[in-house]
Chains A and B, each alone.
Chain A
Amino acid sequence: MTQYVLSRVAFLGLMLFGLLGLTFAISHVMPGDPARLAAGPDANQAMVDTLRAKYGLDRPLGVQFARYLGGVVRGDLGESLRSRNAVLDDLVRYFPNTFELVTLALLLAVALGVPLGMLSAVYKDTWIDHWTRIVSVSGVALPAFWLGLMLQLLLALHFGWLPLGGRLGLTASPPAPITHLLFADALLRGEWRTLGDALAHAVLPVVTLCFPALASILRVNRAEMLETLTQDYITTARAHGFSGFRVVTRYALRNAMIPTLSMIGLRYGWMLGGTILVETVFDWPGIGLYAVNAAVSSDFQPIMGVTLLIGLNFMLANLLVDLAYGWLDPRVRRRSPA
């Protein structure tokens, strides 16, 4: 197992280097001109050239890449052209919000998707199965941003049950930071009204982001359960007189969880992408909204910073899935890594 873990971690390091190469290629090799963008629309050629020299954009690509790597290693991700803030500081400020949103949505998707998939398989071709299948085909086809807008329209604007967007209402003040995660801090400080307000603000974005993931987790779990339930060892367990519930949860679900787990990992990645749309709809102050605001004003460094951070996050999630795989299925450990 140790060797397996080490090989996966080494693979992660390699991937990270590749990702840096990719963001470098997008920012330095593609036809866009960062110096011209940084100089602004009214700049003359001399000003652009000065900036080009300042950022080292006139040097050979190899030198530029080495400088870029060196900067990233020192935590220098450049600065935002609009705010003149260091990108790293902005990411540190906004990332906890995205982390909370995506984590809550993923937990909800797993908590609903796995049992619903199981129920759907056990009660195949009954009304339960039909309804869950409608949810599962709709979930992946609905545009998340549109679903979010319609939920806003109905539950926030029409009925007024939930707030429209943002993280906290105007009257609530955020708790003094401990972990920089709003929910955790409100909980640790015992600020229940703030916690309630934060929860109310989180309902719609979490549900919106969760829905497509819920649908595909449900779908994979149902398919795997259907397959597993026809296996000989399930028949044997039933013949031995184990209760139906025990057979389904102990024997069938555990085996069906292995493919489901890899779908959960994949969906986490999708959520990190989808969060840019959901944060835009709900004005959620995370790195997704930050990236969108940067992208519409051609502010280049923040987008690259967000790409790196989200890529790193997804890689770590995949690492965890790989390790969980190795733990669940000993055969995986012995195979050489992909």
Chain B
Amino acid sequence: MSARVLSLEGAEPHAGGASEWRRYGRAYARSASSMAGLVIVAAFLVVAAVGPWIVPYPDDARGAVHLDQKLRPPGAAHWFGTDEVGNDVYTRVVLGARVSLQIGLIITVVAALIGVPLGIVAGYVGGIAGEAIMRVTDVFLSVPALILALAVVGALGPGIVNAMLALSLVWWPGYVRLVQSKTLALAQETYVEAARAGGAGRARIVFLHILPNCVSPIVVKASMDMGTAILAAAGLGFIGLGAQPPYPEWGAMISYGRNYLPTWWWYSAFPGVAIYLTVLGFNLVGDGLRDLLDPKSRG
């Protein structure tokens, strides 16, 4: 509650000294679930960064085969057991963090790079171009993202690069919607009107007044999207259209492990836990940031 009051008073202007950042930090830390999310995301980033140096069997993500070790249950030598070619599941899950981080980042960044400029054009410039952008956005939003991605991958052929390309191509419309509505609202603000009356050009208003004030909702959406994009890419991996073996992608691992249920349950159980924790972490951080930066757009 206190976070909400604080942000209503202080979040919109884009000035921000060190003391303001400290205040935000304290307000964020007051929520246990936001902090839990931050811890999970931090752990995920660390694992993604140092993965290759902390795993016991780095070759197991590059197609090594140890048939004498195959389908061993979890134990001291293999914490999460081994798969059908004797690869260490723990190693592959840890190295999968880097793959998922790349997938999430690429999809989110590409989507924002396409969506944000289009949203600003639609919201601030308007006219026929703006109208056309919004109608195309509506069409994209009228088909569930996963189906559209499936169609695009179907056209391009399976593989991790095509899966990321497909998801990026269907992910941007959300940003157009968000930025367009925010821009429309900002254009009515007194300070934008004052800038316009003072003779500021369109570009100046957009870069100095509109864009900085769109940053909070974009950051909130992006942090949520990191989780959802990872989830969607894992879904494509699971149906066999994303990463191909031996690439250590969590969704594909679950898909292969599925053939070894129920006896060799660990094969698909652990990658699923990894996806769950990662997505949970990004969602909790997104929630925390939204309560702090953009409390009016909850839900």
Contact = CB atoms under 8 A, between A and B. Distances in A.
Contacts of B22: none
B241 interface: yes
Interface string B280-298: 1001100100000000001
A31 B231 CA distance: 26
A311 B141 CA distance: 9
B147 A291 contact: yes
A19 interface: yes
B139 A18 contact: yes
A295 B153 contact: yes
B195 to A, nearest CB: 28
A310 B143 contact: yes
Interface string A188-216: 00000000000000000000000000000
A306 B151 CA distance: 9
B203 interface: no
B246 to A, nearest CB: 19
The secondary-structure label for the interface of chain A is helix
Contacts of B269: 150, 153
A295 B147 contact: no
Contacts of B144: 269-270, 272-274, 310, 314
B254 to A, nearest CB: 6
Given A137-B283, A141-B279, A296-B241, A314 B142 contact: yes
Interface in B179-226: none
A234 B299 CA distance: 21
B262 A158 contact: yes
Given A18-B139, A153-B261, A307 B147 contact: yes
B227 A141 contact: yes
A220 B271 CA distance: 29
A280 B146 CA distance: 14
A295 B155 CA distance: 9
A263 interface: yes
A11 B210 CA distance: 30
B35 to A, nearest CB: 14
A214 to B, nearest CB: 16
Given A15-B138, A273-B145, A137 B280 contact: yes
B245 to A, nearest CB: 14
B258 A149 contact: yes
Interface string B137-176: 0111011111110111111111000000000000000000
A249 interface: no
Nearest to A308: B143
Contacts of A280: 238-239
A247 interface: no
A296 B284 contact: no
Query: What are the 9 tightest A-B residue pairs by CB atom distance, in nearest-first order?
Result: A273-B144, A18-B139, A146-B272, A273-B146, A141-B280, A157-B262, A141-B279, A32-B155, A311-B143
27 contacts: A14-B135, A19-B143, A26-B151, A32-B155, A133-B33, A143-B231, A143-B251, A143-B254, A143-B275, A144-B235, A145-B238, A146-B268, A149-B268, A150-B272, A223-B299, A259-B299, A276-B239, A281-B258, A295-B239, A296-B241, A303-B154, A306-B147, A307-B143, A307-B147, A318-B142, A338-B134, A338-B138
